[in-house]
A = this chain, B = another copy of it.
Amino acid sequence: MLVDLHEFSQQIQQRKEYIDNCLENLLKKEDTYPPVIHQAMRYAVFNGGKRLRPIMVLEGHRLAGGNPESVSTIACAMEMIHSYSLVHDDLPVMDDDDYRRGQLTCHRVFGEATAILTGDALLTEAFVLMSGSTDLAAQNPLRLLQVIREIAQAAGSEGMIGGQLIDLDAENKAINREELEGLHSLKTGALFKASLRAGAILGEMDDQGLTALGQYAHHFGLAFQITDDILDVDGDQFVLGKPVGSDAKNMKSTYTSLFGLDGARQLARQCVDRCHDSLAGFGTEADFLRDLATFTLHRTV
């Protein structure tokens, strides 16, 4: 269980490069008419993201015994949905962020109207790609429809979008741990869960396995969010590529504001333990997911 951080970060890097390559092929070229929207879509997607959600789609499929490359389209669609959510979240009327991972945010480069349309277009394109996955459709079209539905639900008003609404509503307000967890399990957890399950469902994993992966993703999402809050207090803004302290500025309740830095670190470790517990039914084939959870505790971006 003692993960070699350097070696593992290389493993992640390899998968990230594979995803980047797939995205490069799947996203429309910059000169597609009308060019501005296609330039902005690429700008929003190629922003140095960690590609965790697509990596989870591939990994869920591998764990179910499938060939990860066969679900690369679903993986890329998931990243497009994530990217769209960032473009809209960064808007002045939302979180009002100028930088993300050291780059100007989409609306700062292309203007607000184009940024809104770019988010819309990335979300829409995700469904173009998923419904057009001819190989997956040929194998089992009903299963593909089930996956599309699960992903849409996770991204929707009772999932990610609902979470973002609650998050905005929680600014300048004191909320308790339960509310914070509820918020993040929608805003972040739902998409992680849908990613891991999507890959696994397409690989015909049984219900017991799917439930276990769902639990893993839930705790992973929380660990990820807690470390996000920690980095906003304790991180290096040059490594992060965005200013730290934005939560305090926006008067947001966070894990660090509720529990302090040490308390938040302890909570993150507990979530990672829960991730490992969830995988008890799997053998060494789930080591990548185990290490990924542990790795979260040491992330600097």
Contact = CB atoms under 8 A, between A and B. Distances in A.
A93 interface: yes
Interface in A99-131: 111-114, 116-117, 119-121, 123-125, 127-128, 131
A34 B145 contact: no
A244 interface: no
B164 A152 contact: no
Contact of A124 (B36, B157, B168): B157
A255 to B, nearest CB: 21
A216 to B, nearest CB: 24
Interface residues of A, number: 50
A162 interface: yes
A165 B116 CA distance: 10
A156 interface: yes
Interface stretch (A46-54, A63-71, A136-144): A136-144
A37 B158 CA distance: 9
Contacts of A123: 120, 123-124
A25 interface: no
B112 A157 contact: no
A32 interface: yes
A119 B164 CA distance: 13
Contacts of A34: 157, 162, 165-166, 169
21 contacts: A34-B162, A34-B165, A36-B169, A41-B157, A88-B120, A93-B112, A93-B113, A113-B168, A114-B165, A121-B157, A121-B162, A124-B156, A124-B157, A125-B156, A125-B157, A127-B148, A127-B149, A131-B131, A131-B149, A131-B152, A144-B145
